[in-house]
Structure formats: C-alpha cells, structure tokens
Structure 1
Amino acid sequence: MRNGEKIIDRLEFIEDTKGNSGDKGVLIITNLRAIWHSMTIARISLSIGYNCIQNISTRIVNSRLRGTTEAVYIQSKYNGLRYEFVFTNLIPGNTRHFTSFIGIYKAYNTSRLYRELKLRGAILQNGRLKLLMLEKMYTTVNGVWNLSSEQGNLGAFLMTNIRLVWYAESNETFNISLPYIHIYSVKIRESKFGEVLVIETTSYSGGFTLGFRIDPRERLREVTKELSSIYRIHCQAPEFGVHFINTEQIENNEPSPTLLPSPEKYDEFEDENVIGVSNSLAKYSISRSDKGDGTPKYDSSLGLAIETLPDGFTLSTLWEVIPTTNRSIE
C-alpha cells in the first residue's frame, strides 16, 4: 500500500461474480480503493480506486456458489471505458460488504478537499479558513503576491498540516487550496519580478506552475524552508480524509482487519510480463466509450450476435487468465 493508505475492513468468502464467478475470494477495503483477490491464487486479483467509481448500488444476481442473491453492483469508468463489478457475500445473512463498501465510498466523495486542488472555492469565512476534520492551522503569512497575472494580486498564505491555501485580501473567493500530496516541487527562482517562490503541481492536478513573491528576501527563504519541511513530513504519512467506523463489526466484537505480509521481492508487473497474463479487465468491460456499445456481430461458435470485440481480443482469450500459448507444461 502507498503512504497514508489504511485498511478499514477485510471480508472473506466474497465472490467476484462478474469476472471470476465460482471462485471464493477476499475483499480488502482501504481508504483509497477496494482490492479483491482469489483465496486459491492470489495472482487473480483486481484493484478499484474510488475515484474511478461512478455509482454503487445493490442488485439481484445469480451466483454460481450462492444462487440467486443480492450483491454489490459497481459501475466505473477508466480511460474512456466503462466497467461493471459485482461482489457477492457467500455467508448467508452477512451484509457487511454493503455497509463497508457504500459507507467508505460516501466518505471518500465527501472528503475531496483533502486530495484535490480547488480554485475559487468557498473555503474561507471572514478571512478565516474553514478547517477540515483533523486539520490544524500552522502558519499565516501576509503580504504574499500571486503572480498569475501581470500586475499580481496581494494576499496571504495559510499553511496547515494538510494543504496550502492562498487567498486575495481584496476578494477571499479568489483563492486556491492545494493539498501537499499534489506538490511536485518547491523552489526559489529568478523571474522578472525578482526572486519568487515557485510551486509545481503534479500532472494529476493539472501540472500547474504557481509563482508567489514574498518580501523581503530573508522572509521568502524562511517561508520556503517551512513549506518544504511541512510538505516532506506530510508526504511520509498523508491524510486522505477518509474515515469510517463499521458499527456492525464493533457490535459483533470482530477483530480489526489484518493482512499477511507480502512475498518478498514480488513485482506484479514483472510477474505479468514473464507469465503473459492476458488483459482480464476486458471481462468487466460493458462499453468502449460513452457513445455506446460496439456494433453487434454474429458469432458462429456461439450461435449468437455479440458486441464487436476490441482489436487484439478473441472470444477464447476473454475466458483465460493465462493465455494458452504461454502456459508452461508441468
């Protein structure tokens, strides 16, 4: 897991009904994603980031192991393609996969200020920052010029343990909220305005280059040093703002979720290249784009009209985790 990622719940005997029907697995729910892997072969797995999910609901499905039952139905979008995932709890009467998954996803959606760059947001009231849960105010720096325009705008820095905020003194709605996890670098550079503080953001947040002028020069260096220090500390243990307590788990006196240590020197990408795992994500695809499904085409082996397969795929490879041509003979 990445820094700041925490396991919130872990459920066994969960079936991936859409892509691996009939296979018992483990569903691990963290504050950033949901991970499912087979209890038989851990290599058969998938990871769903909450930012890709568009909708979560429940649906009646036909499970190979459980029969007709209610399951968690997930619709997601990634790289212009739409996918669906279905998770079925094989333990009768256990609905914790509903409460955990849906509850954590809602907590993720309502805490985006922890993780996303925000421009011109309603984050201040009468010049005071509306603090997030677990957010602490560190430093206020007045007299900071934002150099986004030719003449510059005079404002102030607000440094917390989670983000850097700048707002204009003349109009507090002209502001920027920048979580430290989106900072790529903090430097002092020469410009036509003299020495300025330059903050580069990651490509995920748009790859912006933000310039600020702070006088005098000694104060500029002090602010830069403090910001760099807070940024490094936060990156070691970032706060993503996703918190959820499963009351059902507490009432049943169930232990906190734990994970077995990963095998040493295991590289999932290297492993895929050696074994030649096929693109099993295609099993979850329901559309190639927002324009709708592909043109139906008659398949003689099935005797049915099916959606046209993407380039490089055949009907037989969609049912394989390891391509037949790459299987080793034991």
Structure 2
Amino acid sequence: MVTEVIKSIISALLPLCILSCNNWDILFCLYTGRLLVTNLRIIWHSLALPRVNLSVGYNCIINITTRTANSKLRGQTEALYILTKSNNTRFEFIFTNVVPGSPRLFTSVIAVHRAYETSKMYRDLKLRGALIQNKQLRLLPQEQVYDKINGVWNLSSDQGNLGTFFITNVRIVWHANMNESFNVSIPYLQIRSIRIRDSKFGLALVIESSQQTGGYVLGFKIDPMDKLQDAVKEINSLHKVYSANPIFGVEYEMEEKPQPLEELTVEQPPDDVEIEPDEHTDAFTAYFADGNKQHDREPVFSEELGLAIEKLKDGFTLQGLWEVMG
C-alpha cells in the first residue's frame, strides 16, 4: 500500500489559537500554536505543549469557512471554522490568527482544500465517470498515457464487455467500446494487488482495490498471453514507481511568496561617527564597570562628607559624581 507522502505546499508558521472545539468529544481551549498546511492535511500543535496537537485530513472535512468570532485574545476577529467527521463522530475546530496582518492564511487553507476536493480522480476509484471524450482518455494534469490496449474484455458480467484499456502514470482506465459511459478509473493509490488468475474465461488480469474503496475485484481478459504478461509487467512497474513518488494531484501556489533572506538583507554602511572625550564622567558607567571587583577598596576619611567612605577609583571625584546624579 502506498504510504502517505507529505509534501508541504504552504508552511504557514504563524501562531494561531484554537478558541474552542465542539464539545461532542474533545475540547481544546485557548492554546497558542502553529498551523501547517500540506497537500493532504492540516496540522496544528501547541507551542508550549507539542504533545497537544491535531491532524485533520482533507477527506474528513465536511465544511470549511471563515466568519467572525469572539476571541479572548483579540476580541472580534476573523476565525476559521472546520467541521469534520471521523468514525461517525463530528468535530468542529475554530482557529483565529493572533498575528495581525495575515488575512491570506485562512483563504489559503480554503483554497488548498478546494484543490484537494477537485482532484479526487487521482486518488479515488471511479465507476461510470466522464472519462472518455472522442474515443480518447481525458487526461488529468501531470498525467501521461504509457500504453493503450485495444480488445480488452471486462469480466464483470457473465458475458463480458469488449473495450479499451489505458495505462497511465497515475491510474488504469477501461471503457466499453459500445458505451463509453460504462467505464472504470482505478488510481494506483487504491490498488491492493495486481496479478494473473484463472477464470471461467481463461487466464485474466485481476486488480484488487483497497478496502477504502470497497475491496473491488476487477478482471480483464487480454489476448494473446504474451500481451497479457506484458501488460501486467508494465502496470506493476508503473505502480512501483508511483508508490515511491505518489502524485496526489493537489497543486497550489501562494500568490504572494515571501522574499528570500538574501533579498531582504541590506549592507549597513559604516557610520561616520567620531567619539569626542567628555569632561563629565558617567557615574553609572563607573558603577557598572566596577561591579566585578573581587574585594572592597580600603576606607578613607572624606572631609567633604565628614565620614569614612570607600576609596574612589583614580580619576573620579565626589563632586563629579554629585553633578551626574543631579
């Protein structure tokens, strides 16, 4: 099975705060943290307690919107509301940005989620979809056709249906020649196994889909035998390549990209400053400069004060100290 590959599209490392969460099951309140947006999910974690975190896959999101909310940190502010569902349980998460001047963050989250929703053909098994136009496969972005095999029988019914097989870098597509709407699209992401098995029609290519798609077992009859073996070898090879570097179809680019550090760095010209000696001594500077002494200096009698004081450092006078203090 293809493992999840997180390919960060937006690294929105801005402090956010979960105001509240619907009290159906869990509750996060007023945690300041960091929100990460990838092509597959939204990740949030607390800055103070990293173990307090949240991962929301886009497939679990029922609705996502922005509206005004009351925040204890910022008062009336725009908030991101995410309604989700997992294992027949619904959760609602509310985020608000505690850093002003970042209005595009929430719109970017919504845009990435929309890109995920409109690219399900990359990830979901599809039956009877709008896949064929003028006898040609309607290609997805980044999709390439590697092979087209005519005369392939679909063994889903007792009599079989004659059609055409497309093998691409993303999926396998079959459609009936007599009825193009009778078709199936099987993305490599949902393929559990590919092998040759015996059937009542003879040896056939059998593709088993994952349990998430219903665990379909689809059979295809390809003649002659060497053509069948070549097709199985090619599909297994492309499936292996896809598993190493999946194409999920979620593409998004920030309209405003932050400038690189090199462009923001400005050389500071040397300051044309001349330090002139000052006749007035800074008493506070003298005090701090003498803060690391190992022991007190010897006491002496001050005629000005009429009492014994610690001997002053060379170059300092009581009169000078009094003038600075004044």
Q: TM-score range by the shorter chain?
A: 0.7 to 0.9
Supply the RMSD in Å over aligned alpha carbons: 1.6
Cα deviation for residue 254 of structure 1 reads 6.2
> Does structure 1 conserve the Cα–Cα contact (< 8 Å) formed by 2:3 and 2:243?
no
- Residues in 1 aligned to 2:188 and 2:170: alpha-carbon distance in whole angstroms: 6
- Residues in 2 aligned to 1:2 and 1:130: alpha-carbon distance in whole angstroms: 27
- Show the counterpart of 2:124: 116
1:62 maps onto 2:70 in alignment: yes
2:116 partner letter: Y
1:203 maps onto 2:208 in alignment: no
> Does structure 2 conserve the Cα–Cα contact (< 8 Å) formed by 1:198 and 1:209?
yes
- Show the counterpart of 2:6: 5
**Which residue of 14, 31, 34 corresponds with 2:16?**
14
- Show the counterpart of 2:194: 186
Shift in CA distance, 29/254, structure 1 to aligned 2, threshold 3 Å: farther
Cα deviation for residue 242 of structure 1 reads 0.5
> Does structure 2 conserve the Cα–Cα contact (< 8 Å) formed by 1:72 and 1:87?
yes
Q: Secondary structure at the match of 1:17?
A: strand
1:17-76 deviations in Å (ceiling 9; x for gaps): 114333211101110110000111211101111111111111222223223211111111
- Show the counterpart of 1:134: 142
Shift in CA distance, 126/221, structure 1 to aligned 2, threshold 3 Å: same
Larger RCO (alpha carbons 8 Å, 6+ apart): 1
- Residues in 2 aligned to 1:170 and 1:59: alpha-carbon distance in whole angstroms: 50
- Residues in 2 aligned to 1:3 and 1:106: alpha-carbon distance in whole angstroms: 19
- Show the counterpart of 1:253: 259
Shift in CA distance, 2/35, structure 1 to aligned 2, threshold 3 Å: farther
Cα deviation for residue 225 of structure 1 reads 0.6
**Which residue of 98, 101, 107 corresponds with 1:93?**
101
- Residues in 2 aligned to 1:242 and 1:130: alpha-carbon distance in whole angstroms: 18
1:174-228 deviations in Å (ceiling 9; x for gaps): 1001100000000111111111111000001110000111111111111111111
- Residues in 2 aligned to 1:2 and 1:46: alpha-carbon distance in whole angstroms: 20
- Residues in 1 aligned to 2:119 and 2:167: alpha-carbon distance in whole angstroms: 19
> Does structure 2 conserve the Cα–Cα contact (< 8 Å) formed by 1:3 and 1:235?
no
Q: Secondary structure at the match of 1:228?
A: helix
> Does structure 2 conserve the Cα–Cα contact (< 8 Å) formed by 1:187 and 1:198?
yes
**Which residue of 58, 64, 85 corresponds with 1:50?**
58
Q: Secondary structure at the match of 1:207?
A: coil
Q: Whose radius of gyration is greater, 1 or 2?
A: 2
> Does structure 2 conserve the Cα–Cα contact (< 8 Å) formed by 1:158 and 1:165?
yes
- Residues in 2 aligned to 1:88 and 1:218: alpha-carbon distance in whole angstroms: 61
Q: Percent identity?
A: 49
- Residues in 1 aligned to 2:104 and 2:31: alpha-carbon distance in whole angstroms: 19
- Residues in 2 aligned to 1:164 and 1:26: alpha-carbon distance in whole angstroms: 39
Cα deviation for residue 133 of structure 1 reads 0.7
Cα deviation for residue 2 of structure 1 reads 4.7
> Does structure 2 conserve the Cα–Cα contact (< 8 Å) formed by 1:3 and 1:237?
no
2:120 partner letter: R
- Show the counterpart of 1:166: 174
- Show the counterpart of 1:231: 239
- Show the counterpart of 1:218: 226
- Residues in 1 aligned to 2:260 and 2:79: alpha-carbon distance in whole angstroms: 22
- Show the counterpart of 1:75: 83
1:149 maps onto 2:150 in alignment: no
1:99-131 deviations in Å (ceiling 9; x for gaps): 210110111111111111111111111110111
Structure 1's unaligned 5+ residue stretches are 256-330
- Residues in 1 aligned to 2:102 and 2:40: alpha-carbon distance in whole angstroms: 23
Which has the higher mean CA deviation after the structures are superposed, 17-26 or 112-121?
17-26
